[in-house]
Amino acid sequence: MSGYTSDPRIRWTEWLPWLAAIAFFFAMPEYLSLGARILIYILTVLSLDLILGYAGIITLGHSAFFGLGAYTAGVLSAKYGLTDPFLQLLAAAVAAAALGMATGAVILRTKALTLLMLTLAITSILLEIANKASWLTGGADGLSGVKTDPILGMFKFDIFGRTAFIYCLIALFIGWLVVRRLIYSPFGAMLTGIRENTVRMHAIGAPVYWRLVLVYTMSATMAGVAGALLTQVNQFVGLNVLGLEPSGDLLVMLILGGVGRLYGAFVGPVVYLIAQDYLAKQYPEYWYFGIGVLLIVVVLFARGGVLGLVDKCLQALSRHRNSAKASAR
Amino acid sequence: MILYVISVGLSVTMGLMGFINLAHGVFAMAGGYIFAAAMARFGAPFAVAVIAAFLGVAAASVVLERLLYSRLYRSGELAQVLFSIGLILVSMASARMIFGDQAARVLLPDYLRGQLHMLGRDFPTYRVVLIGISAVIIVLLWFGVERTRWGAMVRAAVDNRAMAQSVGINTSVLFMGTFALGSGLAGLGGALGADILPVQWGYPFEHLVYFLIVVAIGGLGSLRGPFIAALLIGVADTACKYWIPEFGAFLIYAATIAILLWRPMGLFGVRA
């Protein structure tokens, strides 16, 4: 887990995911829609990682912000004719940030089960509203007829998802820069401190509560933007972006990748969504079964997720090498 | 009342043992299936089927507890939450594979189906019986936890496990028993309620929110809390759906948030 003391400069390996994404763009043009979806979920999971992995806020309600962003963009476009993509993103960000700040300010005073319940109740309320206010949100049928202008007046959203992919990639890149900067800053160190030992952070005079509210708001904003991206790419919003289940999905993705690691948020959604794409359509039962078993195994035996396992292997390898060297001498 | 029987089990595992067990609905579902299967396939009488549900779920939970749960008592909340979500997914998938998409059908015996004439009004017999059984459970549990040696031991072990061990309480076995009791109660609730809350594969997720609300509002570690919370939630939910259906479950969640903000430890919670 990279902390405050580690070198904040970007290492060369950190460029690999981006190279991989660009290579994907040229190598598999027929999967770009799935690719764009993965990028969006990476952005969302990244925001979840910020509050859960770094600040240690356990939430079952992260879908509230994702869904609010998605619906803000969708409603503005379909009902009020606001079709500029950046204005939609901005509106979604503002709405999610406002919700994040308002709810964060209230619920972050609690912890453990109470916090869990409050986050769950908030996203459930939003789900209820989206479901019942069908004149605005389309209710259970979802909101269709979302239109988005070409980006910068030049790049239309095409049917193959080329524009969407690049667009989401850029959004994710910006999100990554922000989060990366954050976690290597003193602020990030403070968050880690709060996660590890809240009492001690209080004792050394850190404004724990305000830091938590701030990071919660930031994370909400990012999730809201990601939601809006999803709406723009799909040109549709459904009820499945709100409530317990999407929150659970996000959590599972993060856990699979590795909590509290920047790149855990990258690995998780890739593995999860690709597996879902292949398996869920053919065998929905086995898909849930597999994910459940995987989750239990990860929790019991591999806390760091996929990246944690990779880390352990690398460590074991280097230890092996060192001992080999030592015995050679 | 069904909410109460299921949630009181949750309050036992979660409150007394401090384990965030989201998979509680799984045990309730299992209870419901055992109950339905016992009645339909083996023609067991009602009472036997209910007891089978209780014992079956309790026994299954002991296995799970030994194999999986006991490893997680000391780990953080996050691990417990994730683990139980995993368990929910596995159980839902298995239930769907084994029992199919349809809800399990429950045929109540004739003597429980009619109306009961009391105090000049008619009540469905089954609901009256349910309330009666719940009342018995409440009294037994309260007596067990507050007045017996077992209850004292559990409370001691929860407050300070190391201390309890050092005075010679086998906390591992104790927790196993308590967990079995909590899960068994969930199974019992699932079985008794099979007529009212249909048992199907989506059960653990669908009702999860309600169980959690009841426990959170009622407060962890108390037996009185979930009882009152279950009554409140049940009455409020029915009233809302009757008078202002357009709001749906909205008010329940709003009330939950309000109560939790007012009393973060729940109405009758003990400060941890």
A121 CB neighbours in chain B (<8 A) are 213, 253, 256-257, 260
For residues A106-111, average pLDDT: 78
Q: What is the mean pLDDT of residues A266-271?
A: 82
Whether chain B has a CB inside 8 Å of the CB on A128: the answer is yes
What pLDDT, on the 0 to 100 scale, is given for residue A2?
44
In B, which residues are within 8 Å of A248 by CB distance? 85
Q: Does A147 touch chain B (CB under 8 A)?
A: no
Q: What is the pLDDT of residues B100-154, one digit of tens each?
A: 666 666 666 666 666 666 666 666 777 777 778 877 887 887 788 778 888 888 7
Beta strands (DSSP E) in chain A are: 143-144, 236-237
Dig out the tokens for A229 from the structure. 């991206």
Percent with pLDDT over 70 in chain B: 67
Highest mean pLDDT among A38-52, A122-136, A273-287: A38-52
- Mean of the per-residue pLDDT values for chain A? 79
Nearest to B209 among A124, A255, A289 (CB): A124
| Tokens representing residue A291 in the block | 């994910």
- Predicted pLDDT of residue A4: 44
| Residue A71 vs residue B131, higher pLDDT | A71
Examine the pLDDT at B222 and tell me if it is beyond 60: yes
Chain A nearest-CA residue for B89: A292
Q: What's the pLDDT band for A130 if we cut at 50, 70, 90?
A: confident
B194: DSSP letter: G
The pLDDT assigned to B224 comes to 67
What pTM did the predictor assign? 0.77
CA distance B15 to B248: 29
Residue A97 has pLDDT above 50, yes or no: yes
Mean pLDDT of the region B39-44 = 70
pLDDT at A1 over 60: no
Q: Whose structure tokens read 């009393």?
A: B263
H/E run at residue B32: helix B24-40
pLDDT band at residue A187, thresholds of 50, 70 and 90?
confident
CA separation for the pair B59, B30 (Å, rounded): 12
Query: Residue B203 in contact with residue B29, Cβ under 8 Å?
Result: yes
The pairing of strands B121-124 and B115-118 is: antiparallel
Q: Are B265 and B271 in contact (CB under 8 A)?
A: yes
Rounded to the nearest angstrom, the gap between the alpha carbon of residue B112 and the centroid of all alpha carbons in its chain is: 23
* Integer Cα distance of A25 and A37 in angstroms: 13
| Beta-carbon contacts of residue B166 (< 8 Å; ≥ 6 apart) | none
Whether the per-residue pLDDT at A5 is higher than 60: the answer is: no
Antiparallel, parallel or unpaired: β B121-124 and A236-237: unpaired
pLDDT digits (tens, 9 = 90+) for B68-96: 777 776 666 677 777 877 888 887 777 77
pLDDT at B103: 62
Most confident of A4-8, A131-135, B107-111: A131-135
- For all residues of chain B together, what is the average pLDDT? 73
Please give the share of chain A, as a percent, with pLDDT higher than 70. Answer: 90
Q: Given this model, what pLDDT does residue B101 score?
A: 64
Q: What's the pLDDT at B175?
A: 79
Residue from B260, B261, B262, B263 to probe the interface with A (highest A Cβ count within 10 Å): B260
Per-residue pLDDT, A3: 45
Task: Count CA atoms within 13 Å of residue B201 on its CB side.
Answer: 18
Share of chain A above pLDDT 90, in %: 0
Which pLDDT score, from 0 to 100, does residue A304 have?
A: 66
- Please tell me the predicted confidence (pLDDT) of residue B112: 62
Q: Is A314 exposed, middle or buried (0-12, 13-18, 19+ CB in 10 A)?
A: exposed
Q: Residues A81-88: what's their mean pLDDT?
A: 78
The whole-number average pLDDT for the span A272-289 is 75
Q: Within an 8 Å CB–CB cutoff, is residue A295 touching chain B?
A: yes
Average pLDDT over residues A144-154: 70
Residue range A74-87: mean pLDDT, rounded: 79
Give A252's pLDDT tier (boundaries 50, 70, 90).
confident
Range B172-183 average pLDDT: 82
Is the CB of residue A223 less than 8 Å from the CB of residue A90?
no
Minimum CA–CA partner of B216 in chain A: A114
- CA distances (Å), B175 to each of B12, B167, B182, in order? 10, 16, 10
- What is the band of B262 on the pLDDT scale with cuts at 50, 70, 90? confident
More confident residue, A317 or A91: A91
pLDDT value of position B231: 73
Percent of chain B with pLDDT over 90: 0
* Closest listed residue to residue A229, CA positions, set A169, A275, A276: A169
Torsion of CA A197, A199, A204, A210, to 10 degrees: 90
Q: Determine the average pLDDT of the residues in A295-324.
A: 74
Average pLDDT over every residue of A153-174: 77
How many residues make up chain A in this entry? Answer: 329
> Per the structure block, which two tokens stand in for A109?
């005073």
CA-based nearest residue in chain B for residue A285: B93
A240-249 residue pLDDT tens: 788 777 888 8
How many whole angstroms separate alpha carbon A258 and alpha carbon A264? 4
A-contacting residues in B 60-99 (Cβ below 8 Å) = 68, 71-72, 77-79, 81-83, 85-94, 96-97
**CA–CA distance, B34 with B28 (Å, rounded to integer):** 10
pLDDT at residue A273 above 60? yes
A118 and B249 within 8 Å at the Cβ level: the answer is: no
**Rounded CA gap, A231 and A145, in Å?**
11
Nearest chain B alpha carbon to A253: B82
pLDDT reported for residue B272: 43
Give residue B104's pLDDT: 62
